[in-house]
Amino acid sequence: MSATILVWLSLAAVPAAFAAPTEEQVARAVVEARGRDLSTRLRLVTEPFLGAPYRLSALGEGAGVDPDPTLRFDAFDCTTFVETAMALALADDLAHARRILDVVRYRDGKVDYLARRHFPEAEWIPELVRLGFLEDITRAVAGDEVRVEEKRLDARVWHRARHQGMPALPDERIPNGTFRLDVWPLDLARAGAARIPVGTILHLVRVDYGSVPVRVSHQGIVLEKDGKRVLRHAADRMYHSVVDEPLDRFFSRMQQYKKWPVAGVHLTRATAPPSLPAASPPAAP
């Protein structure tokens, strides 16, 4: 989910052993991944990040409200990990990835705190689907096991849910409406995990609590490792780092959460949009 939404949920320990890759190493991974299918590219470009510490709201605008860097390779939260992975996997080189990342994170690619896609159900998922970066595959995978889940959000709900550490957003910036997602119930998703395609972006959907302004609380990438499905994700609880967690183990852990139970998962496939930012910036007139 957008790290700025649930900033109050936890503080993560930082592993000591990780050595962040250099820009040159990440750039080399991007070049070496070119020409592969997108799921393979997602795996290859994120290999250097395994073990990176979890850091809530790892990316920002480089100044202003959130001065964290616009791109980094030394720490991630779940959403910034997925966003970075998508940008690197779609790019021709590192400079290209920076431009793609701006389009993924911000409306109209404008690097501004108020333009950031803060709300997963209302903004991040549906807008990236409309732009062609994601394709909703929940119903294609789960069929008639899908349930439609809703989240009602407006300024009144936002103020009722306000908590220290949540983003400072004016009322006019709060999405207004009832936002719906196809959701595969957790027990059924665990039983059918082998049906989830490699390269899927998995979104964890919680039960609807009026005191929380979102329902999507976590994201990761489904990959294959040693012939088995894993979720590669920046995990706060238990791991505090980017890990490859066996998918069945992940689902089993999610079934244990009682304070804010998990309703199920929403599944999207990363795709290359019809129009990507140019590989090179436009020439000066």
Q: Give the pLDDT of residue 268.
A: 98
Residue stretches of the chain with pLDDT short of 70: 1-16, 162-165, 280-285
CA atoms lying within 13 Å on the CB side of residue 244? 14
| CA-based nearest residue to 203, from 143, 152, 144, 129 | 129
Q: Give the pLDDT of residue 14.
A: 41
E runs forming strands in the chain: 134-136, 147-153, 177-185, 200-206, 216-225, 228-235, 241-246, 262-270
Q: Give the pLDDT of residue 161.
A: 76
Cβ neighbour number for residue 85 with a 10 Å cutoff: 23
Cβ neighbour number for residue 254 with a 10 Å cutoff: 20
234: left (phi over 0), alpha (psi -120 to 50) or beta: beta
Burial class (CB in 10 A: 0-12, 13-18, 19+), 77: buried
CATH fold of 23-270: putative xylanase like fold (2.30.260)
Q: Give the pLDDT of residue 278.
A: 76
Say which residues have a Cβ less than 8 Å from residue 202's Cβ, sequence separation at least 6. 196, 219, 220, 221, 222, 231, 265, 266, 267
Q: How far apart are CA 258 and CA 31, in angstroms?
A: 44
Q: Give the pLDDT of residue 7.
A: 39
Q: Give the pLDDT of residue 71.
A: 98
Q: How far apart are CA 12 and CA 260, in angstroms?
A: 18
Burial class (CB in 10 A: 0-12, 13-18, 19+), 217: buried
Angle formed by the axes of helices 78-90 and 38-46, nearest 10°: 120
Asked if 267 and 137 touch (Cβ cutoff 8 Å), the reply is yes
Q: Tell me the two tokens of residue 64.
A: 């202003």
Burial class (CB in 10 A: 0-12, 13-18, 19+), 144: exposed
Q: Domain boundaries in the chain?
A: 23-270
Q: Tell me the two tokens of residue 190.
A: 């665990």
Q: How far apart are CA 14 and CA 16, in angstroms?
A: 6
Dihedral sign for Cα atoms in the order 128, 129, 134, 138? positive
Q: Which residues pair with 194 in a beta bridge?
A: none
Q: Give the pLDDT of residue 237.
A: 87
| CA-based nearest residue to 52, from 217, 244, 202, 200 | 244
Residues 17-68: tens digit of each pLDDT? 899 999 999 999 999 999 999 999 999 999 999 999 999 999 999 999 999 9
Asked if 277 and 109 touch (Cβ cutoff 8 Å), the reply is yes
220: helix, coil or strand?
Answer: strand
| CA-based nearest residue to 203, from 151, 166, 274 | 151
Q: Give the pLDDT of residue 15.
A: 46
